[in-house]
Chain A
Amino acid sequence: MKRHHATALAVTLLALAAAAAASIRFLDHRKPEPIVRGPGVTEVRMLSEWLPDLAGSPGDTEVYVFRGASPGSSMLVLGGTHPNEPSSFLSAVLLIENALVSAGTLYVIPRANASGFTHNDPQEGAPERYSVALPGGSVRTFRYGSRATNPVHQWPDPDVYVHAASGQTLSGNETRNLNRGYPGRADGTLTERVCLGIANLIRAEKIDISVDLHEASPEYPVINAIVAHERAMPLASQVVLGLEFLDIKIGLEPSPKNLRGLTHRELGDATDTLAVLMETANPSQGRLRGRTDEALVLKGRDPYYVKAQALGRLYVPFDENGHPIEERVGRHLSGISEFAFALSSERPDRPLEFAGVPEYGALLEKGLGAFLKPLP
């Protein structure tokens, strides 16, 4: 064998070995983490019940239903629209494992973009997983995903993404962004079909209010904020005041009319639901972050964000304590509770009442693990 043939063979074998090693990790990323069905869950349905075409596809996802003993208003909570925003997913998990609904109906989708949980964004160096210790000594592990649908499930991206309903153009990779695909369409991409499934659910179940949970990087202007469709603004204003009473400062932004494809615009326009979106501060998704690891995801501390804060480059206070996951989940859960309270106050004949949701102060004091159930 000639020398360059031997070199080529060695390099090929090395490349195959690297591909095999990486493949094992990538395939492992597709295994969903268990969520413990809490005492308040009355049904677990699949999104494909509202769009049968999704059945068996990577876009199909669980919908946890909490039906109260008495009728009332209904709320849909979307977690995991962007699976690289962990407080969104974890807030949904804590609801599922703890909430008890006495009046009205609560729907929770913890992995709105289930496909996005199966991979990481290339060149972002994100951890594949993060773990939370429980008081009994056990550990719950969750996947850190991508902002977008897995390209293995939807590929290739066009050069330019054209939002079907409006013709608005965005960068091609936004084709896989669930929060740019609403209201969705039946003959569209997997991402657009998931959007349509969610919109169908809202229409069929007559959802009164939809809360889409997100996180933003600290340099992004819309952060620690509620973005509300114009019909939801009065309710959202009450929630801002309610959160102020809990010492949680939160901004209120109107949903821009020219930014299409997002929940707070399209679900508000295309359905009767009151559409709102909530943002917390997540340094692990920002461009200014330092070392990217599990600690950054959970503790939310980063020296470069502290420096950027001193430079006046951020839209959220950022000191050495950072923004731990407990604070971010606590903000979301408090917001959800306040929305339910405000809705019930506006419609006393159709209340939405639930209990058992971990409170902001308790989360900060006891930690997230105290409210996660041990795996059976």
Chain B
Amino acid sequence: MPFELVIFLAMVGVFAAGCFAAKLPVSLSMLLAACAGLLVSGNGLPVRHLVEGTFGYVDTILVIATAMVFMRTVQESGALEALNAVILRRFRTVPALLLPLLMLVAMFPGMITGSSSASVLTAGAVVAPVLILLGLPAPVTGAFIAMAGILGMIAPPVNIPAMIIGGGIDMPYVGFEVPLALLTFPLAVLFSLWFGLPHVKVVEWEVLAAKLDLETYKKYGIRLFLPILVVAVLMVLGKTLPQVFGMGLPVVFLIGAALGLVVGKRFNILSASKAAVNDALPVLGILAGVGMFIQVMTLTGVRGFVVVSALSVPPALLYAAIAVSIPLFGAVSAFGASSVLGVPFLLALLGRDQIVTAAALSLIASLGDFMPPTALSAIFAAQVVGESKYSRVLVKLVVPSLVIIGWALAFIVFSKQIRALY
């Protein structure tokens, strides 16, 4: 048995024991697993590696924390409920149109920022109450917006996993718009109807009105939506005029949060911010723990063992290896899976159309955001819909994830034919 496998088993064993036997938080279990890897590999306990590993997620942590603060202010100001009322009043009678529309709305922040968390925590949080009022159960609603998160992350114009994979072979992020659109938008329509149609019902406005807060909108009017509008505009400007508006998502969210303070109902910003960060803390902790885990995997050679093992399969099983290993490695991070496995697999598929193949690999990598323990998209979706166990959301995503893998693999197999279409 290779020594790297021994180290890996020790790390996984300590992680499982921490989570399930000692009932420790996932983040602490990851920390202990990283320490176990260091000790078993004979590296001692170099604190520098543990700290350095966490730095890989500093930017992500800031985005998540500020997005949570922004959404809390939108909620507390009354804007969220008012927006739900407006959407339902206009579109409740045409669910077959409303569902794909809501899916696109929920995808939008991910399309602009490349972050599934940004999608789920912002537009996802706007769309979720509407879906629940339309009759979708909370876990299904969670699955709907979690799916929107990853499809938004992959849809054009911004797809960071594709940029990472392309960057690994010096392929510029040029010409990806069409294959990414072909990969994601049909799936977006399909899954919006998949999750929504079995549950959605046309409800009389009077019935809905009784459940909605209509007073806040009457009192403050359209200015309630100013924070959401400003954040959306700044996200777009950050993409189109980055030299002027490239201020970064955390600042954009903080500007939105500041506006939320003055446009609607008054609330205590300190309490709201504290509650928002408190909600995000478990995930932020997991990210820090995962950072340490990856650092130790790389340091000890476990990462190389995993990657070379995935590449060692016979050519006939290469697609199976892609389908299994990339989402599994995504458990540590979708972006990490793109870099560590996406690049070698793209190199192993050099005979295919490179752009279509990289785009398809990025779609498979995005499934890492459904993979425990990080499962960013699913965890935040569960939080947004008030579902205490995110596993209930994850269950609804299993079959759609298999459809995504099949769809992406078909794009790889027929990459040249797809390229010839446009």
Chain A residues within CB distance 8 Å of chain B: 18-19, 21-22, 25-26, 120, 122-125, 128, 151, 156-160, 162, 164, 168-172, 174, 219-222, 256, 258-260, 287-292, 302, 304, 307-308, 311, 313
Interface of A is mostly: loop
- Bound CA–CA A174/B295 (angstroms): 21
- Bound CA–CA A196/B167 (angstroms): 23
Other A-B pairs, 7, CB within 8 Å; known A22-B48, A123-B336, A289-B301: A125-B300, A169-B174, A170-B172, A219-B347, A220-B168, A221-B350, A308-B308
> B residues within 8 A CB of A288?
304, 307-308, 311, 344
B128: shortest Cβ distance to chain A, in Å?
24
| B49 at interface by CB-CB < 8 Å | yes
- Bound CA–CA A164/B379 (angstroms): 37
B158/A292 in contact, CB under 8 A? no
> B residues within 8 A CB of A259?
170, 172
| B56 at interface by CB-CB < 8 Å | yes
A196: shortest Cβ distance to chain B, in Å?
16
B172/A123 in contact, CB under 8 A? no
- Bound CA–CA A280/B310 (angstroms): 26
- Bound CA–CA A114/B248 (angstroms): 25
| B330 at interface by CB-CB < 8 Å | no
Query: What are 25 pairs between A and B in contact, CB < 8 Å?
Result: A18-B50, A19-B51, A22-B48, A22-B52, A122-B52, A123-B298, A123-B336, A124-B298, A158-B246, A159-B114, A159-B115, A160-B163, A168-B172, A168-B174, A170-B172, A170-B173, A171-B160, A219-B343, A287-B340, A288-B311, A291-B300, A292-B298, A292-B301, A304-B305, A311-B312
- Bound CA–CA A171/B160 (angstroms): 6
| B289 at interface by CB-CB < 8 Å | no
Q: A123-B294, A291-B41 are in contact. Are A21 and B167 (CB under 8 A)?
A: no
- Bound CA–CA A199/B98 (angstroms): 55
| B238 at interface by CB-CB < 8 Å | yes
Interface string of B233-258 (1 = CB under 8 A from A): 00000110011001011100000000
Interface size on B, residues (CB 8 A): 61
B301/A304 in contact, CB under 8 A? yes
Q: Which of B52, B305, B336 contacts A120 (CB 8 A)?
A: B52
- Bound CA–CA A302/B303 (angstroms): 13
B330: shortest Cβ distance to chain A, in Å?
15
List the A residue with the shortest CB-CB distance to B308.
A304
Q: A159-B114, A171-B173 are in contact. Are A122 and B55 (CB under 8 A)?
A: yes
B59/A287 in contact, CB under 8 A? no
- Bound CA–CA A25/B145 (angstroms): 43
B119: shortest Cβ distance to chain A, in Å?
13
B47/A18 in contact, CB under 8 A? yes
B285: shortest Cβ distance to chain A, in Å?
11
| B339 at interface by CB-CB < 8 Å | yes
> A residues within 8 A CB of B340?
287
- Bound CA–CA A21/B52 (angstroms): 12
Q: A21-B47, A221-B347, A258-B172 are in contact. Are A290 and B295 (CB under 8 A)?
A: no
A296: shortest Cβ distance to chain B, in Å?
9
- Bound CA–CA A376/B291 (angstroms): 41
B311/A313 in contact, CB under 8 A? yes
- Bound CA–CA A169/B166 (angstroms): 11
Q: A156-B248, A159-B158 are in contact. Are A18 and B344 (CB under 8 A)?
A: no
A292/B299 in contact, CB under 8 A? yes
| B296 at interface by CB-CB < 8 Å | yes
B344/A160 in contact, CB under 8 A? no
| B169 at interface by CB-CB < 8 Å | yes
A289/B172 in contact, CB under 8 A? no
> B residues within 8 A CB of A18?
47, 50-51
A219: shortest Cβ distance to chain B, in Å?
6
List the A residue with the shortest CB-CB distance to B114.
A159
> B residues within 8 A CB of A25?
48
Residues 49-82 (chain B) with a chain A CB within 8 angstroms = 49-56, 58-59, 62
> B residues within 8 A CB of A302?
304
Interface string of B159-192 (1 = CB under 8 A from A): 0100110011110111000000000000000000
A125/B59 in contact, CB under 8 A? no
> B residues within 8 A CB of A156?
59, 62, 248, 250
| B203 at interface by CB-CB < 8 Å | no
Which of the listed residues B249, B308, B340 has the most CB atoms from chain A within 10 Å of its own CB?
Answer: B308
> B residues within 8 A CB of A260?
172
- Bound CA–CA A270/B243 (angstroms): 22
| B374 at interface by CB-CB < 8 Å | no
> B residues within 8 A CB of A19?
51
A158/B242 in contact, CB under 8 A? yes
B116: shortest Cβ distance to chain A, in Å?
13
B258: shortest Cβ distance to chain A, in Å?
19
Q: A123-B336, A168-B172, A307-B312 are in contact. Are A160 and B50 (CB under 8 A)?
A: no
List the A residue with the shortest CB-CB distance to B56.
A122
B114/A160 in contact, CB under 8 A? yes
A225: shortest Cβ distance to chain B, in Å?
12
A125/B347 in contact, CB under 8 A? no
Which of the listed residues B239, B296, B301 has the most CB atoms from chain A within 10 Å of its own CB?
Answer: B301
Which of the listed residues B52, B55, B303, B340 has the most CB atoms from chain A within 10 Å of its own CB?
Answer: B52
